[in-house]
Structures are given as structure tokens and as C-alpha cells.
Homo-oligomer: A and B are copies of this chain.
């Protein structure tokens, strides 16, 4: 929720949330083809969203954590065009989109907030396109790790330690590379003393080195 509302406003804004829903690890919050009715605000847990082709290839389009909104893909056709899968037990707030639109008309601040959320997603996807189109395996992984810790840190977690909620294959799908290549890049970073890796536990030992890999020119 955005800032700038008084308590009376906040009470009305509570109406956006119809109810909450728990999603167990591995379960889908919504899937491709489902009728779109609501946006979902993640309260706890971790999701991936992915699209797939008829011939079975899957592309992870994003990883979402507490405080982020999923379901925006469904607005345009009234049907979802991707799957949202919980990577750990999760709880979401269900926000019927009709409520969102009604209250947006009443509260310009909310309207602006909704627009920003959608715009942010567009900008994020732009940078993923840059990553997929122009970067090499190690740059992609460095960018991915830096993005993850930055978002976790904004939520009060460590900026140097994290536990991955997704498999090597899912990371690879997101980054446009095979799981073996992901694993090799982790090992390389580890050999170079940039990170410490043990399965899904990752500790960043030298963030500057990671940033340098991600963006070779901008280093100092």
C-alpha cells in the first residue's frame, strides 16, 4: 500500500482485499487459461511465474516475494497467460480486480499506485530482456544474485546471505541457460572466492566483484 492515506481512507481501502488464501509449496495460485478475477499480493512465501509453449518448453518469467503483486498478466484477455507456482508455503491477499478499479476511481493515490506497479513490471521485464539478449552466463547469474539479495535486504534480510527457493533448473529457465551452466557458474564464483555456495545456501563474500561481473565497465 502506498503512503499518503488517512485512517478513514485506509479503512475503505481494506475493502480491496476480499480474503486471503494459503498456497502450499508446489501448488499453483493460478494457471494459464484460468479466468482472471483478481490480483494477488504476496503476504508470505515465494512464487515463480512461468509461461510454456505447446511443445513443453517452459520459461520462468519471474520470481516474486512478499509484498509483490502477481496476476497482472490476466487483465488484457480476462484470462491468465502464465502459471504462478508457490516455491514455498505461501499466503496471498486476494484483491478482486473489480474492487481495485472501483477504489482506484475514488482514490487517485491508489490509482497512481496501481499504474506504477504495472509500469514497474514493464521496466523489470525490459531489463530481463537486456539480460537474456546481451549478457553471458556469468553476467546473468551475477545480476540475478545481486537483484535477489537487494530485494531480500529491502525486506530486512541479510545483504550477503540467502537461501535460494528455486532449483538450478528454475534459475536456468529464468536466465535462459541450462541447469548445468548455472551450476558451473556457481562453482566458478565459488572457486574465485566471490561467493560461498552449498546447494541452495549462498553467501556473497565479494559483492563488488559480482557487480563488476554484472557490469564490467561501471566498476569505479
Contacts and interface: CB of A to CB of B under 8 A. Distances in A.
Give the interface size bracket for A toward B: 35 or more
A192 interface: no
B76 A130 contact: no
Contacts of A58: 134
Contact of A115 (B55, B59, B101, B134): B101
A181 to B, nearest CB: 12
Interface stretch (A18-26, A153-161, A193-201, A212-220): A212-220
Contacts of A16: none
Contacts of A38: none
A108 interface: yes
A119 B73 contact: yes
Contacts of A129: 51, 59, 61, 125, 128-129, 132
Interface of A: 51, 53-59, 61, 72-77, 81-82, 101, 104-106, 108, 111-112, 114-123, 125-130, 132-134, 173-176, 215-218
Contact of A108 (B105, B116, B122, B173): B105
A215 B111 CA distance: 39
Given A72-B119, A73-B126, A125-B126, 13 more contacts: A55-B215, A56-B217, A57-B130, A57-B134, A58-B134, A59-B133, A73-B123, A76-B120, A81-B126, A104-B104, A129-B129, A133-B174, A133-B176
